[in-house]
Structure 1
């Protein structure tokens, strides 16, 4: 629907530039069945999940893509039949035709692009990890609160979606009673140390910030089950202390590749969690126990196999396999949820910025504990 008026140009001239995002948003709101999306960053997750996810939704046009170089932008546009390429992310945000952006850059750019996108009146789907640190995360949250009519979503941790509802139902039904401890070891994709391994952006604090391996996304999943932690203590090490950059020279890396975290939850109960990318010959890549006063739940994944859920309570000699009902089986529907939220059909649950800020605060608390050797209380002051 187009608004026509002989006085429209005169009126717009009188409007402050600061009001233009609101005007654009207002005018686009008449036609949310047709949503134009701009891609900023087109890495592995964007190409394997977000682009196919958007393409499945009726009324969505992937209008523009801006990757790290013109060449890579053109390659992505050609591969996925995207209409246009943009010189950089600012060009995408300044394009009045674009309603929403999907941010798939490294974490160091998530905060500035998200805030700028919201200020330009764009809905935002931002890749996890949310930001470099909790300070940036809070800035993103504040910016979203200034734009309550815009949708802002962080890509959720996908590893446990299939089981989350079932686990939460067991806990709500008092199956395990009061939580005593969550005890977990995650070594997904880990192997014995390779001292000639390449430097990845995840090993560089300038790009990754306080994020450590896949620690944050597992904590996000844990929060879905038992809520946030209120204390953290951590020890960690960089077993592979140097990695090879593009020219083959050795570069020191300070982000841990093996970490042990203990803490307590707001709801009660303790946590002991190990995350590692440098241990080998383990039978299970994921092994998490929820142990309570009445029962135990176990989520486990053997190497090369699918995750399985087991549970047992008082009187059971062994844990029995839990078959997840189809209606309770969660799945990846990030792009669908994002677009539905823009169209007013549902609210963001996976993951809203308030929740993402909590895992960023926990991430910062882990980093602070590593630095100081002290237990850190949450939420951060």
Structure 2
């Protein structure tokens, strides 16, 4: 296949600002049809990005013979009912995060994806630590910090973001086998607002997870840090430590041995330097198209449907642990 004929369902702000411009820039993509929640909205997207036509009913995109792949950019509660028929009608699928609402739905989506393994099924990743991903992995693979003992993930947002934290840790470090969770709300007046201008409930979320080899992952999330927030990932190994984070719009990766007094900036390998210097990240859209046209394996930074299921299983276990105050085993996949 030389050119991928693309259909788009639900082109919201993120789709229009990021995803569609990236697809539009690819020479081997033909933007065929778009279907938004209203005809007026669909027409605006058509005019902005040059889609050949609009469809009033999203199901027409799935049934069209002139469409090879579908991007599902709707609300999460629509992903399940759209993804399965898309795969069953022979369409490659890229669905926005989160994959769906429940573990049951995710299992069925994964099952249909596996039954149609000749099709590409991907989830658009969260936009966190994507720039640092390959650099971080290379440091870990080099063995410079020895055997991993404890991973600590600090994150501060005005919304509960455990899913995004898990996605990052899972793609870099792999599976976790059990967890213990606690969520504490504070009885104080909120001084923060989210991006919609709504008052933020002051709370702290803590999760302690264990990996198969016995090493630990600690997730710390707060909604109340405000402008003092300092999100970062710290990895402690038998021979040293790596710290990757961002503070006041400055990103960094530092490393040090167990006997070093200070951490030093990591020297970025030449082939990975553009990722760091230019702030480039994995181009999801290009990966999706190349996986279709050339059978190229997508970047490991882009979640598969199996990864989406793991995230929902983690979230379900978090709720059970938080509600009952117990350790909860994660399903063995």
Asked if these proteins are the same fold (TM beyond 0.5), I'd say yes
**What is the CA–CA distance in structure 1 between the aligned matches of 2:118 and 2:154, rounded to whole Å?**
40
Residue 217 of structure 1: CA displacement? 2.3
Which residue of structure 1 lines up, in the alignment, with residue 77 of structure 2? 108
The root-mean-square deviation of aligned C-alpha atoms, in Å, is 2.7
Contact 2:24-2:49 within 8 A present in 1 as well = no
Contact 2:165-2:219 within 8 A present in 1 as well = no
Query: 1:62-113 CA deviation, whole Å, 9 max, x = no partner?
Result: 1111112222222222222222111122121112111110011111111111
The within-5 A match list for 1:220-369 is: 220-237=167-184, 258-284=204-230, 286-303=231-248, 305-328=249-272, 329=275, 331-348=281-298, 349=300, 350-369=302-321
Contact 1:163-1:324 within 8 A present in 2 as well = no
**What is the CA–CA distance in structure 1 between the aligned matches of 2:221 and 2:37, rounded to whole Å?**
31
Question: Does the residue aligned with 1:307 lie in a helix, a strand or coil?
Answer: strand
Contact 1:341-1:347 within 8 A present in 2 as well = yes
Which residue of structure 1 lines up, in the alignment, with residue 330 of structure 2? 378
Give the 4+ runs in structure 1 shifted more than 3 A.
Answer: 237-242, 255-258
**What is the CA–CA distance in structure 2 between the aligned matches of 1:274 and 1:331, rounded to whole Å?**
25
The within-5 A match list for 1:212-223 is: 213-223=160-170
Query: 1:299-330 CA deviation, whole Å, 9 max, x = no partner?
Result: 12113x13211110122101111132342337
Contact 1:296-1:313 within 8 A present in 2 as well = yes
Q: 2:54 aligns with which of 85, 107, 112?
A: 85
**What is the CA–CA distance in structure 2 between the aligned matches of 1:292 and 1:262, rounded to whole Å?**
17
Contact 1:185-1:288 within 8 A present in 2 as well = yes
Residue 214 of structure 1: CA displacement? 2.9
Residue 225 of structure 1: CA displacement? 2.4
Question: Does the residue aligned with 1:156 lie in a helix, a strand or coil?
Answer: coil
Residue 157 of structure 1: CA displacement? 3.0
Which residue of structure 1 lines up, in the alignment, with residue 114 of structure 2? 145
Instruction: Decide whether aligned partners of structure 1 residues 314 and 279 sit closer, same or farther in structure 2, where only a CA change above 3 A counts.
Output: closer
Unmatched runs of 5 consecutive residues or more in structure 2:
none
Unmatched runs of 5 consecutive residues or more in structure 1:
1-31, 191-211, 245-249
Residue 155 of structure 1: CA displacement? 0.9
**What is the CA–CA distance in structure 1 between the aligned matches of 2:43 and 2:181, rounded to whole Å?**
44
Q: 1:186 aligns with which of 150, 155, 159?
A: 155
**What is the CA–CA distance in structure 1 between the aligned matches of 2:189 and 2:285, rounded to whole Å?**
38
